[in-house]
Amino acid sequence: MKYKNVFWGLILILIGSLAIARNLDLLYFDWIRFVKLWPVLFILWGISVLPVRDYVKIVLLVIVLGGSTWFVVDSSAYPNEDKYGFVFDDWNYKSNTLSKYHQSFTIPWADSIKKASLDMEAAAGSFHITDTTTSLVDFNQTGSKSSFEYVVERTPEQTKVKINEKHHHVFYRKSNKRVVIKLNPKPVWDINLDAGASAVKYDLSGFKLHKLNIDGGAGSFKITLGDRYPNTFLTMDAGASSVLIKIPESSGCDLELSSVLSGKNLSGFEKTDNGHYQTANYDSATNKIHLNIDAAVSSFTIIRY
The burial class, CB within 10 Å (0-12 / 13-18 / 19+), for 175 is middle
Burial state string for 269-297 with b = 16 or more CB within 10 A and e = fewer than 16: beeeeeeebbbebbeebebbbbbebebeb
For 148-202, what is each residue's pLDDT tens digit? 999 999 998 999 999 998 754 444 444 578 899 999 999 999 999 998 778 999 9
For 108-125, what is each residue's pLDDT tens digit? 999 999 999 999 998 878
User: How confident is the model at residue 33, as a pLDDT?
Assistant: 64
Whether the predicted model's global pTM rises above the 0.75 cut: no
For 49-108, what is each residue's pLDDT tens digit? 788 887 788 888 888 888 777 766 654 444 444 333 333 333 344 445 544 568 999 999
User: How confident is the model at residue 30, as a pLDDT?
Assistant: 59
User: How confident is the model at residue 99, as a pLDDT?
Assistant: 47
DSSP calls for 189-210: EEEEEE-SSEEEEEEETTSEEE
